[in-house]
Structure 1
Amino acid sequence: MTLPRWSLAGHTGSPEEPGEDPLAVCIDIDGLFADLPPRPREHVTLLGCEPAGALAEALDTRAWLGTMWLGTMWSGDAGEPGGWAGEQLLDTTVLGHRPSAGSPGRVDVDLEGLVSVYDRTDGVDRPDGLTGLALQGPDGGPWGTCADVTGVFRERAAPPIPRVTLIGCRLEPVFQQLFNPGEPRRIVAGVGAIAADGAVVRMIDSWVTGTVVASVPSAYGDGLVDVTVDSDSREPSPTGLRDIVDIWRAGRPTERNLWAGYDRALRDEWAGVALANHAGSTSAEPFDLDGRFVTDVEGFYCALGEAVNGPGGYFGWNLDALEDCLRGGWGARPPFRLRWHDSAVAREHLVAGYDRHRHGPAVTLGYLLGMFAEHGVDVDLR
């Protein structure tokens, strides 16, 4: 008999107080994992622009600008950010400019970059009563104003994977009720992997959400069904996450550096699985960080997690999370000693610049050492 590999927990319909009820166990889920092509760069035009600062300097050189903030202006106080939080343009380059047809004496500026969204399908709402935009650089310095912008505001996009099929499922009663006449057929379910011992390996951001449209007897038999769901707009999990979860199905990793062969994106996924299944410290001070594979900041987080909390351990997966861990409660509370072996690898790779993967200033070895020192962590670079 084929054993179920996936567990779904969440809620159905549109309840006032969504719960985390067990919904189903399934042999497989088609459409949960997919590798999408890189997100295409976007063209944005600042209309009726009075550029200043680095933006003004870049008009004729078509220079790379990096991050740009767009925010509303207070009425009668041009150039000052207003009440709307604004939008962020990432990895921005000036393509060109020309006299503005709608605003004499000003220019329209064409840019290429990425509008900052959590998920590529996210919509970006145009704020009500928008009468102008204040432009700012990454450090908050003024970059001028513009009357309007195109290429930023948009409706939510269609899901890249329009349908998900739950294969060989045994449904809990709360899920079975979806097929009663008149019941709303909505499902919002977090997905976990069922380990060899029956425990659930949790995942941070793997979901099946949408409208249930069909249920048919499964080829796996024994009263099982295949359920088809029209997906909500959201990106699928990368296929490499499935490989990572398969490692954890056999039980918590007992060997360090199983993450080392993954690229940056999947190292981040590894740290997310480690966070979701954090079980406390299995190491003792002083902590030994194996630095051989710290070729990026994601590798640093994976290596640090295992230094403090053993194979598969977690101790932060971004700067805010690391700050939180250094305040205690995640397996070690400063002051403590960290022996960083093969630190020359990080010294070579964690250097200043722009991190095009995370779309922001690169996290440097010096910055990390400063964080550790601020929290009373004694780092011995070896």
Structure 2
Amino acid sequence: MRASVRDGEGQKYALTSDEDDSDFWGSAHEAEGLFTPLPHEDGARRVHLEGCLPQGGLLKSVGHVGRRRAMAGNASLALLDGEGATMGSYFVNELTVVDVEPSIRGTGLVDLTVTLWCDNALPGAERAWDLVRTGHLNRTGMWHDLTPEDRRAWLSVALWSREYQRRGRPDAPAGQVFALDGRHVVDRDSFYCAIGEAVNGPGGYFGWNLDALDDCLFGGWGATAPFTLLWNSSAEARARLVERLPVGDREVALFDLLLEIFEERGVSVVLQ
């Protein structure tokens, strides 16, 4: 986790050089454009950092807009909670300052327009981050009505905020029983939303692809095998998870493959 915000209240984002943790670049109230549906034609995102007090390597770039030295470099872009603690962070490439204007957010603050590359900031993720930030990600099923694209974004936030949300809690001990609600499992991502919630609570993470799920089953992600998974409404989920995937020289329906993975890792699945 990166350090908390250092230059005032109300900031939601903070930048630190990826090459030097001590090179703090400043914080911002908003980062409009970070979660845009599509990047610009050249692959970069154009992000408006509102209410920023540039420091370190970023401050050096501010004075060189339009020139090569306007590129500050690679950075860690942290998302902050209401107290300035880091909830999670994204790696951003080649952050370059393209415009600077005085900010109405406060004396001495500026609004920076920057370009950057960030593959992991998915469209739709901002809503989930806001729920984490405000403490409103506090009940199960909040992902049920999301579109497929927004479910993927939901999972990305679950992944990047997992340490913050768990607050250092240890894994549940071996022998634990977890209940997975299968009523809303309609595809791969909805399954991962459901299993993450079953193990780690609202907005919880327990994999977002098959390899990640397998990694989680080795421990350190909320559960310790062997454990029992009560899969409620499993018949409905079986009827929907019919995608066939290659496994060696055979093809297996996704539902059956999940059962195989659980069995291999010592998880007893009770279909209900």
What TM-score range do you get, normalising by the shorter chain? 0.7 to 0.9
Matched, 1:368 2:258: yes
Mapped partners of 1:219, 1:208: distance in 2: 28
| Secondary structure of residue in 1 paired with 2:231 | strand
Identical amino acids, percent of aligned pairs? 37
Contact 1:204 1:273 in 2 (8 A): no
Are the structure 2 counterparts of residues 196 and 370 from structure 1 closer, same or farther at C-alpha, using a change threshold of 3 Å?
A: same
**What's the CA shift string for 1:290-317, capped at 9, x where partnerless?**
2221111111111111211222221111
- Residue in structure 1 matched with residue 129 of structure 2 by the alignment: 245
Mapped partners of 1:203, 1:33: distance in 2: 13
Q: Whose helix proportion is higher, 1 or 2?
A: 2
AA of the residue aligned to 2:154: W
Structure 1, unmatched stretches of 5+, are 12-17, 37-119, 122-156, 355-360
Aligned pairs for 1:330-345 (under 5 A) are 330-345=221-236
AA of the residue aligned to 1:301: Y
Mapped partners of 2:243, 2:60: distance in 1: 56
- Residue in structure 1 matched with residue 75 of structure 2 by the alignment: 189
Contact 2:27 2:52 in 1 (8 A): yes
- Residue in structure 2 matched with residue 103 of structure 1 by the alignment: none
Aligned pairs for 1:123-138 (under 5 A) are none
Contact 2:99 2:112 in 1 (8 A): yes
Q: Whose strand proportion is higher, 1 or 2?
A: 1
Contact 1:186 1:209 in 2 (8 A): yes
Give the C-alpha shift of residue 204 in structure 1: 4.8
Please give the TM-score of this superposition, normalised by the length of structure 1. Answer: 0.58
- Residue in structure 2 matched with residue 5 of structure 1 by the alignment: 12
**What's the CA shift string for 1:196-238, capped at 9, x where partnerless?**
2332221456x47432233221122321111122445x66844
Runs (4 or more) in structure 1 with deviation over 4 Å come to 180-183, 280-284
Are the structure 2 counterparts of residues 363 and 316 from structure 1 closer, same or farther at C-alpha, using a change threshold of 3 Å?
A: farther
Please give the TM-score of this superposition, normalised by the length of structure 2. Answer: 0.79
Aligned length: 250
- Residue in structure 2 matched with residue 171 of structure 1 by the alignment: 54
Are the structure 2 counterparts of residues 34 and 211 from structure 1 closer, same or farther at C-alpha, using a change threshold of 3 Å?
A: same
AA of the residue aligned to 1:19: D
Are the structure 2 counterparts of residues 330 and 282 from structure 1 closer, same or farther at C-alpha, using a change threshold of 3 Å?
A: closer
Mapped partners of 1:191, 1:271: distance in 2: 19
Q: 1:268 is matched with which residue: 139, 145, 152? A: 152
- Residue in structure 2 matched with residue 34 of structure 1 by the alignment: 36
Contact 1:353 1:362 in 2 (8 A): yes
Matched, 1:228 2:229: no
Structure 2, unmatched stretches of 5+, are 1-7, 246-250
Contact 1:164 1:208 in 2 (8 A): no
| Secondary structure of residue in 2 paired with 1:371 | helix
**What's the CA shift string for 1:259-312, capped at 9, x where partnerless?**
222122322222222222222458671111122211111111111112112222
Are the structure 2 counterparts of residues 302 and 250 from structure 1 closer, same or farther at C-alpha, using a change threshold of 3 Å?
A: same
Higher relative contact order (CA 8 A, sep 6+): 1
Mapped partners of 2:128, 2:252: distance in 1: 26
**What's the CA shift string for 1:102-159, capped at 9, x where partnerless?**
xxxxxxxxxxxxxxxxxx99xxxxxxxxxxxxxxxxxxxxxxxxxxxxxxxxxxx613
Q: What RMSD in Å do the two structures reach over aligned CA positions?
A: 3.1
- Residue in structure 1 matched with residue 196 of structure 2 by the alignment: 305
AA of the residue aligned to 2:219: G
* Larger-gyration structure (1/2): 1
Are the structure 2 counterparts of residues 237 and 183 from structure 1 closer, same or farther at C-alpha, using a change threshold of 3 Å?
A: closer
